[in-house]
A and B are shown apart, each in its own frame.
Chain A
Amino acid sequence: MKAAGNPVANGAAGAAIVAASLGCFALGVLAVAGDGWKALATMLTFYRPTGPLSGVSTVAIVVWLVAWSVAHRAWRGKTVAWGKVSVVAFMFLGLALLLTFPPVGDLLLGK
Chain B
Amino acid sequence: MQITGRDLVTIIHGMLFGGLFLMACFGVLILLHRSLSIRGGGELTEAGRRREHIFLVVMVVLGWGAVLSGAYFVYPWYRAIPPAGVTNLGAYPQRLLLADPHTAGWHTLGMEWKEHVAWMAPILMTMVAWVLMKYEDAGEEHRRLRSTAVVFALAALLAGGVAAGFGALIDKQAPVTGGPAINLMRGTR
Tell me whether A and B are bound partners: yes
Chain A residues near B (Cβ < 8 Å)? 8, 10, 12-13, 16-17, 19-21, 23-24, 27-28, 31, 35, 47, 49-51, 53-54, 56-57, 60-61, 64, 82, 86, 89-90, 93, 96-97, 100-103
Q: Cβ of B71 and Cβ of A54 under 8 Å apart? A: yes
Q: How far is the CA of A13 from the CA of B158 in the complex (A)?
A: 22
Say yes or no: A50-B76 contact (C-beta < 8 A), given A16-B130, A102-B108: yes
**Inter-subunit contact B127/A16 (CB<8 Å):** yes
Annotate B90-129 by CB proximity to A: 1 below 8 A, 0 otherwise. 0000000000000000001100110111011001101100
Q: Using a Cβ cutoff of 8 Å, how many contacts connect chains A and B?
A: 94
Question: Contacts A49-B76, A53-B71 given; 10 further ones with Cβ under 8 A?
Answer: A13-B131, A13-B145, A17-B127, A20-B123, A24-B119, A49-B79, A54-B72, A89-B148, A93-B124, A93-B151
Q: Is the CB of B119 within 8 A of A60?
A: yes
Within the complex, what minimum Cβ distance (angstroms) separates A109 from chain B? 12
Please determine whether A8 and B138 come into contact, CB atoms closer than 8 angstroms. Answer: yes
Query: Shortest beta-carbon distance, B147 to chain A, in Å?
Result: 9
**Chain A proximity mask over B117-161: 1 for CB below 8 Å, otherwise 0:** 101100110110011001100100110110011011001001100
Q: How many residues of chain B have a CB within 8 Å of chain A?
A: 36
B55 CB within 8 Å of chain A: no
Q: Is the CB of A24 within 8 A of B131?
A: no
Task: Flag if B119 contacts A13 (CB, 8 Å).
Answer: no
Q: Which residue of chain A has its CB nearest to the CB of B72?
A: A50
Contacts of A20 in B (CB 8 A): 123-124, 126-127, 152
The residues of A that contact B67 with a CB separation of less than 8 Å are 57
In the complex, whether B26 has a CB less than 8 A from a CB of chain A is no
Chain B residues proximal to chain A, CB less than 8 Å:
67, 71-72, 75-76, 79-80, 108-109, 112-113, 115-117, 119-120, 123-124, 126-127, 130-131, 134-135, 138, 141-142, 144-145, 148-149, 151-152, 155, 158-159
- List A contacts of B72 (CB < 8 A): 47, 49-50, 54
12 A-B contacts (beta carbon < 8 Å): A8-B138, A17-B152, A50-B72, A54-B72, A60-B123, A82-B145, A93-B152, A93-B155, A97-B117, A100-B117, A102-B108, A102-B112
In the assembled complex, how far is the CB of residue A29 from the closest CB belonging to chain B, in whole angstroms? 11
Nearest A residue to B68 by beta-carbon distance? Answer: A57
Interface of A is mostly: helix
Chain A: which residue is nearest B117 at the CB level? A100
User: In the complex, are the beta carbons of A23 and B145 less than 8 A apart?
Assistant: no
**Which chain B residue lies CB-closest to A86?**
B148
Across the interface, which residues of B come within 8 angstroms of A101, CB to CB?
113, 117
CB distance from B119 to the nearest CB of A (A): 5
